[in-house]
């Protein structure tokens, strides 16, 4: 699952990760991503989410998902602060990537988690 409120980034990342052999479902609305996860938590092997989204933060999304099922998580942020790192660590986020990132870097992070 790939979640980011920037629709173009979702489209590019889903297409790009599919070239690496991943089956990716993308969401630009974190609430819809959560609905999908609640409906079928076993359908997702990992979650990649932006930290800062207007309707539901990435960490809130992760907390809600992990209440249902533990799943590896990569968080993304345009500006990674020490506070972001600490919050991600407390939440159990497995990796934190700064935007912009390359698809190679994201695919490697997913490979490492899976």
User: 1-44 pLDDT, tens per residue?
Assistant: 999 999 999 999 999 999 999 999 999 999 999 999 999 999 99
Whether the predicted pLDDT of 79 surpasses 90: no
Nearby residues of 15 by Cβ (< 8 Å), 6 or more positions away: none
Instruction: Please name the residue that has the structure tokens 């935007």.
Output: 99
Which pTM value belongs to this model? 0.94
DSSP 65: H
Q: Which domains does the chain have, with CATH numbers?
A: 2-113 (3.40.50.2300)
**2, 24 contact by CB (below 8 A):** yes
| 80-108 pLDDT per residue, tens | 889 989 999 999 999 999 998 999 999 99
């Amino acid at each position: 699952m790939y979640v980011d409120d920037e629709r173009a980034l979702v489209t590019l990342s889903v297409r790009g990760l599919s070239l690496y052999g991943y089956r990716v479902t993308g969401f630009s609305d974190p609430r819809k991503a959560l609905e999908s996860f609640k409906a079928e938590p076993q359908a997702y092997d990992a979650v990649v989410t932006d930290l800062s989204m207007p309707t539901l933060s990435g960490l809130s999304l992760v907390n809600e998902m992990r209440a249902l099922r533990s799943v590896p998580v990569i968080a993304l942020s345009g500006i990674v602060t020490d506070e972001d790192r600490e919050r991600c660590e407390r939440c159990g986020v497995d990796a934190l990537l700064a935007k912009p990132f390359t698809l190679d870097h994201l695919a490697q992070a997913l490979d490492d988690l899976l």
